[in-house]
Amino acid sequence: MSKKPESESLYSKFTRTIAKVVGLVSPSSAVKYLGQHACLRAYDAAVISGHHNELWAPQMKTGDLEIGRDWKTAVARSRDLDRNHPLVNDALRVGFAFTVGSALDPQWTITKDGKRDTDSIKILESAFWEWAEDCTINGLHWDDVKRLVYRHLKVDGELFVIESADEFHPYKLQLVEPEQLNDSVDGDLKNGNYAIRGIEFNKRGRAVFYHFYEAHPSGFGLSDKTVKVDAKRVIHIFMPGRITETRGICHFVSAIMSLYDQNELSDQILELHRLAAAYGIFITSPSAESNIIGLPMTPDSSGRYVPVKTVGGVRVNYLNAGEDPKTVNPEMPTGSFSEFDKSYLRKGARGFSMSYETFTGDFSNANFSTLKAGQNNERALFRLDSALIIRKFSNRVIRNWMDAAVLNGLRLKGYWQNRKYFQQYRFTLPALPAADAVKEEVADRQALENRTTSRRIICERKGIDYDELVEELKQEAIDLALTSPAADDEQILTAENAENSEV
């Protein structure tokens, strides 16, 4: 049996001795004392004295209290970074391209007895894209809606979509920014419910109403009037980080200060370089008059000749007699700044769940292995974001749109008797980047031979709709057979029969 370290043994004897003395007066206090010392000995993170981080004493609060205290400042800063930090703005566009892009659109897969119901699919797809042209109260396209959902989810941490209607269609969307929720509606309410920053909950903790300002509190047409909207009409899109969170926070909140400091430091280094280059030329002489006599002259706007002010873009300064210029020679931290800057950018990249190379566009030290490793992580995280948007937003919108469209006259025979049949659909996913397309093709072929993947899975990774591809390949085979000079009746018949077979 191994012997305990001497320091630990002495510590244990000391604490047990004190516990026995305390126990003579209060046994329960002795038990509590021993438990607290066991925690302090077990966890370095709990050290509260004699340590350089002893002032680090965060409080235990619910998720809502933590977010509610700082969310306005955090969101304002994240939006400012989006506007003014080029890498943040680009990272959001890259993330959108691989999470949503031109995909996340419904693709109906209605089948009956193993055969696609192409008539119903065509009716639904045609009706959906007609609605998609003007799917919001203020006339936005479906593609704009997807982009705004992604950006607000990342930058603000949440957004609200109210299901509404107008004179053109019984189902329209209304996008609402988080600050339009009246967070002064908070605490216990007279009707027995309670509210958290504008969301009203029943006793079971389920949202029943959302209290929105009639207009954006910081925009034109300011209004302090609050509208109470039934929770059944509101889609609240956010990703809770704790059980006690009912509101969202910026997804890259942990990297906000690092990105701001990096951007500020870069600007200050640039100003330092500008200052060093702007000292110019100083001219001195025994008297003030001789500063002018014999010097090159140039006409000013009034036609008078005055001494030159610049030479090759550098300012010329004329000093009076006895004046001696004193300049500061700033030290340029160019040698160490590069690595220091990269350390901050790496933090920013992780805040966006991206590799340093993807976040910065700097591939100077990258190779195939590092790119592949980084892309594998990014792919998984991009897909998680895609799944979040589909689950929280897209699924509900498509189902409710179908109901409203049929009520509005869309002809789908037997829809209300068999809704599940018509609501067979899936969402296309954006293509993921390939570090080496040729190598991936070889790997996909090998995986198909080993039966560890399928053509549908491969197509989804590449952003291709599998069912549409099958139909296109069938039609392509028919077209090639019909246009081939050597085609005979037997070949044409074989190509036409391909319509009933799989690729």
What is the reported pLDDT for 186? Answer: 93
What is the reported pLDDT for 5? Answer: 45
Angle of helix 466-483 relative to helix 489-497, nearest 10 degrees? 170
Tell me: do 192 and 288 sit in the same domain: no
Tell me: do 81 and 14 sit in the same domain: no
What is the reported pLDDT for 70? Answer: 84
What is the reported pLDDT for 330? Answer: 57
CA dihedral 385, 387, 389, 394 (to 10 degrees): 160
What is the reported pLDDT for 372? Answer: 74
- Looking at per-residue pLDDT, the higher value among 193 and 355 belongs to 193
CA 143 to each of CA 139, 204, 304, 424: distance values in angstroms, whole numbers, following the listed order: 12, 37, 63, 22
Average pLDDT over residues 454-479: 82
Residue-wise pLDDT tens digits, 315-325: 666 666 666 66
Note whether 354 and 95 are within 8 A (CB). yes
Tell me: do 158 and 187 sit in the same domain: yes
Residue-wise pLDDT tens digits, 36-61: 656 545 556 666 666 667 677 778 88
Residue-wise pLDDT tens digits, 198-229: 999 999 999 999 999 988 887 666 667 899 99
Q: Is the pLDDT of residue 31 over 80?
A: no
Tell me: do 174 and 187 sit in the same domain: yes
Is residue 482 included in any domain, yes or no?
no
CA dihedral 425, 456, 148, 434 (to 10 degrees): 180
* 166 token code pair: 């107008």
Is residue 386 included in any domain, yes or no?
no
CA 154, 155, 160, 161 dihedral sign is negative
What are the two backbone dihedrals, phi and then psi, of residue 15, each rounded to the nearest 5 degrees?
-70, -35
Tell me: do 169 and 111 sit in the same domain: yes
Tell me: do 80 and 22 sit in the same domain: no
Tell me: do 89 and 220 sit in the same domain: yes
440: exposed, middle or buried (C-beta count within 10 Å: 0-12, 13-18, 19+)? middle
What are the two backbone dihedrals, phi and then psi, of residue 478, each rounded to the nearest 5 degrees?
-65, -45
Tell me: do 135 and 146 sit in the same domain: yes
- Looking at per-residue pLDDT, the higher value among 481 and 299 belongs to 481
Cα 242 to Cα 245: distance, rounded to the nearest angstrom:
5
Is residue 116 included in any domain, yes or no?
yes
Residue-wise pLDDT tens digits, 327-382: 555 565 556 777 778 888 888 888 898 888 888 888 888 777 777 777 778 888 89
Tell me: do 242 and 278 sit in the same domain: no
Listed residue (283, 278, 310) closest to 294, CA to CA: 283
Note whether 87 and 359 are within 8 A (CB). yes
Mean of the per-residue pLDDT values for the chain?
80
37: exposed, middle or buried (C-beta count within 10 Å: 0-12, 13-18, 19+)? middle
Distant-in-sequence, close-in-space partners of 116: CB < 8 Å, separation ≥ 6: 109, 110, 467
Q: Which of 226, 252, 278 is the last residue of a domain?
A: 252
Tell me: do 248 and 290 sit in the same domain: no
Please give the single-letter amino acid code of residue 124: L
Tell me: do 104 and 213 sit in the same domain: yes
Cα 342 to Cα 454: distance, rounded to the nearest angstrom:
40
CA 38 to each of CA 12, 27, 60: distance values in angstroms, whole numbers, following the listed order: 9, 17, 21
- Looking at per-residue pLDDT, the higher value among 311 and 339 belongs to 339
Is residue 279 included in any domain, yes or no?
yes
Is residue 433 included in any domain, yes or no?
no
Cα 24 to Cα 43: distance, rounded to the nearest angstrom:
29
User: What residues make up the domain containing 33?
Assistant: 6-46
SS3 469: helix
Comparing 275-284, 357-366, 493-502, the range with the smallest average pLDDT is: 493-502
Is residue 364 included in any domain, yes or no?
no
Q: Which of 316, 351, 386 is the last residue of a domain?
A: 351
What is the reported pLDDT for 340? Answer: 78
pTM, to two decimals: 0.75
Per-residue confidence band for 8, with pLDDT thresholds at 50, 70 and 90 = very low
Cα 399 to Cα 389: distance, rounded to the nearest angstrom:
15
What is the reported pLDDT for 421? Answer: 93
CA 492 to each of CA 2, 376, 500: distance values in angstroms, whole numbers, following the listed order: 84, 45, 14
Note whether 222 and 305 are within 8 A (CB). no
Tell me: do 38 and 101 sit in the same domain: no
If one counts the domains in the chain, the total is 3
Residue-wise pLDDT tens digits, 415-464: 999 999 999 999 988 887 676 778 888 888 999 999 998 888 888 777 78
Counted residue by residue, the chain has a size of: 503
Per-residue confidence band for 115, with pLDDT thresholds at 50, 70 and 90 = confident
What is the reported pLDDT for 303? Answer: 60
Is residue 151 included in any domain, yes or no?
yes
| Greatest Cα pair distance in the chain | 108
Angle of helix 334-351 relative to helix 256-277, nearest 10 degrees? 150
Is residue 109 included in any domain, yes or no?
yes
Q: Is the pLDDT of residue 285 over 80?
A: no
